[in-house]
Amino acid sequence: IFDKISAESRRVSGTIQGNVEVIRGIKNIANKDQYFADVLKINKDVNQHKLRISMTADGQVKLNAVHKFNPSELYNLGNEGRSQLFSSIGPATVTTPNVSTRVVPSVNAVTGYIDGEEEPSFLVGIHPGEIIQIGSLLIRVSSSGAENISLMLENLSQEVYANLMTVAFNLLSKLLPEEIAKLRLLSPDEDLIFQIVKFVFNYLRHQRPLGEATDNDNGIVVILKEFFQNGVVRQDTILKLKDNLINWMNAEIDERRRLYPNKILIRCQTCDGVRYA
């Protein structure tokens, strides 16, 4: 039942915002067992009346993305009371496609650190137009970047998505200004956060920072576990990932030098970034 209501939350609000609402909603549910038990008990009536049910950020449920209720209150109405209420609400009018309810086994979502307790925790959800602080950086999230991330990660479960974004933000916090300048040089039209998330996503799908994959690995879920220890991010593994990113950037820049030998390399005196003209 969790898959159903979380998928509807993503359909209504988009993958990124929907996942954020589900994460916040779970944190705000006092008795999770009772909550999901009540939702399960009313699920048959919800289906019979062709309603859509989603989770809200304050730990309630919404019917047809409009009417908010506590699931225990809906259950306590009884069959007749629910039937009258659900009939008055009417069937859902769906204008956007369903999203995947596939859930991948995952490690717990975390935002802490092993080293440096004074460092800030990072958000696992991002909002278009928002300015967020990552380490010492202030970064504006573009609408195109948020949309591209949403499309790229749309088939991931809530927790895998949250963990991947946590790794990406930790990686971004480790980059120096000149390293960010090199990354922007390679793809000047792409959102910076999208560039980092895309690198992490592709890296997790094809490689692992602490050795070769084994026959019983379950995709990126097992690889993600290497980035966490006792509920916090392993900074040594983040630094290994950064080394891979830097090596990839340098290789790409060298390849462009080879392909375009007549281009002049211009180095910024302020941030030590480079561009070709």
Closest CA to 5 of 19, 130, 28: 19
Q: CB of 219 within 8 A of CB of 107?
A: no
Q: What is the pLDDT of residues 133-182, one digit of tens each?
A: 665 566 666 767 777 887 888 777 777 888 888 888 889 888 888 888 88
pTM of model > 0.75: no
> Do 151 and 161 form a contact (C-beta atoms < 8 A)?
no
For 2, 61, 167, the CA distances from 48, given in Å and listed in that order, are: 19, 17, 42
**Confidence band, pLDDT 50/70/90 cuts, at residue 269:** low
Q: Which residues pair with 267 in a beta bridge?
A: 274
Helical residues (DSSP H) of the chain, grouped into ranges: 2-13, 15-28, 32-48, 71-76, 78-89, 143-152, 158-173, 177-186, 192-206, 219-225, 235-259
Mean pLDDT of 195-221: 70
CA-CA distances (angstroms) from residue 169 to 88, 141, 166?
A: 45, 12, 5
Domain ranges of the chain: 1-89, 130-276
